[in-house]
Amino acid sequence: MHHPCLTQLDVMRLERMLHARGQLADDEGERIGAILDNADIVPGEVIADNVVTMNSLVAYRDLDTGLECEATLVYPSLADNAHQRLSVTSCVGAALLGMRVGESIAFTLPNGVQRHMQILAIPFQPEAAGQFHL
């Protein structure tokens, strides 16, 4: 089983979001709960710069289609497909969080189709840029 690496701040915010009434659909809550249950948690100041954290810009490849994408991983209220801002509660967003460059992961879409993706690069990670408050 994959153990995502998360910052303490990201965990605090995800837990707050998880416990806020009516903020998440059941499937979204289950995805976030599974991430938190399996996470290795570290201070933001020491997280490796090759780990996808919240507000990271991440490049990834769908290994089933070969399609390469780039998106910023955000909280649901900031999600915007037109601007490549991907919600952490989506299937893809939840799979990205805590992954390292070069790693791949399998996940299931809401329609039951299984996908595989690989992290190609993290052009921007807030912690690597010294922006620990994002």
Distance CA 15, CA 129 (A): 24
For the chain, what are the domain ranges?
A: 5-124
Q: pTM (2 decimals)?
A: 0.92
Using only the alpha carbons of the chain, give its radius of gyration: 14
Look at residues 13, 68, 73 and name the one whose alpha carbon lies nearest to residue 44.
13
Separation between Cα atoms, residue 128 and residue 56, nearest integer Å: 10
Question: Beta strands of 28-96 (E only): which ranges?
Answer: 40-42, 57-62, 68-74, 85-87
CA neighbor of 122 nearest in space, from 54, 45, 46: 54
Tens digit of each residue's pLDDT, the chain (134 residues): 568 999 999 999 999 998 886 778 888 888 899 899 999 999 999 999 999 999 999 999 999 999 999 999 999 999 999 999 999 999 999 999 999 999 999 988 889 999 999 999 999 999 999 887 76
CATH number of 5-124: 3.10.50.30
